[in-house]
Chain A
Amino acid sequence: MTALGRGLLAAAMVTLPFWLADPYYLHVVIMAGIFGVLALSLNLLLGYAGQLSLGHAAFFGIGAYTSALLTLKREWSFWPALAAAIALAAAAGWIIGRLALKLRGAYFVLVTISFAGVISLVSVNWIELTNGPLGLPGVPAPDLGPWSLRTKAAYYYLVLAAVALSYAVCRRLVRSRIGRAFVALRENEPLAESIGVDVTHYLVLAAVVSAAMAGLGGSLYAHYTRFVSPEVFLFTYTVTMVIMVVAGGKGTLAGPLVGAVLFTALPEALRLAASWQWQMLAYGSLLVLLVFFLPRGIVPQIVASFSGHPRSAPTSRTPLQ
Chain B
Amino acid sequence: MTLAVSDLAVSFGGVTALDGVSFTVRPGSITSIIGPNGAGKTTAFNAITGYLQPTAGRINYDGAALTGLRPSAIARRGVVRTFQRTSVFPSLSVADNVLTGLHLSSTAGFLDVLVRRRWLVLEESSLHTDVEEIIGFVGLGHRRDEMASTLPYGEQRLVELALALAARPRVLLLDEPGAGMTGAEKTVVSGLIRQVREQGVTILLVEHDMRMVMGISDTVIVLNHGRVIAEGTPGEIQAHPDVIRAYLGAPRGAA
Contacts and interface: CB of A to CB of B under 8 A. Distances in A.
B76 interface: yes
Task: Give chain A's interface secondary structure class.
Answer: helix
Given A169-B114, A183-B92, A188-B88, A195 B103 contact: yes
A190 B163 contact: no
Interface string A304-321: 000000010110011110
Contacts, number: 108
Nearest to A209: B110
Contact of A194 (B75, B108, B110, B120): B75
A195 B100 contact: yes
Contact of A176 (B51, B108, B166): B108
A187 B124 CA distance: 22
Q: How large is the interface on A (under 10, 10 to 19, 20 to 34, 35 or more residues)?
A: 20 to 34
B99 A193 contact: no
Given A172-B114, A183-B92, A194 B103 contact: no
B81 interface: yes
A184 interface: yes
Contact of A180 (B83, B90, B99): B99
A167 to B, nearest CB: 13
Interface in B78-130: 80-83, 87-93, 96, 99-104, 106, 108-110, 113-114, 116, 120, 124
A265 interface: no
A312 B101 CA distance: 17
A75 interface: no
Interface stretch (A86-94, A197-205, A274-282): A197-205
A191 B88 contact: yes
B164 A194 contact: yes
Nearest to B113: A176
B113 A178 contact: yes
A173 interface: yes
B51 A190 contact: yes
Contacts of B166: 195
A313 B95 CA distance: 10
Contact of A196 (B51, B76, B83, B87): B76
Contacts of B80: 194-196
Contacts of A62: none
Contact of B75 (A172, A195, A200, A313): A195
Nearest to B81: A194
B92 A195 contact: no
A181 interface: yes
Contacts of A190: 51, 71, 83, 87
B147 interface: yes
Interface of B: 49, 51, 70-73, 75-76, 80-83, 87-93, 96, 99-104, 106, 108-110, 113-114, 116, 120, 124, 145, 147, 149, 163-164, 166-167
Interface of A: 169, 172-173, 176-178, 180-181, 183-184, 187-188, 190-200, 205, 209, 311, 313-314, 317-320
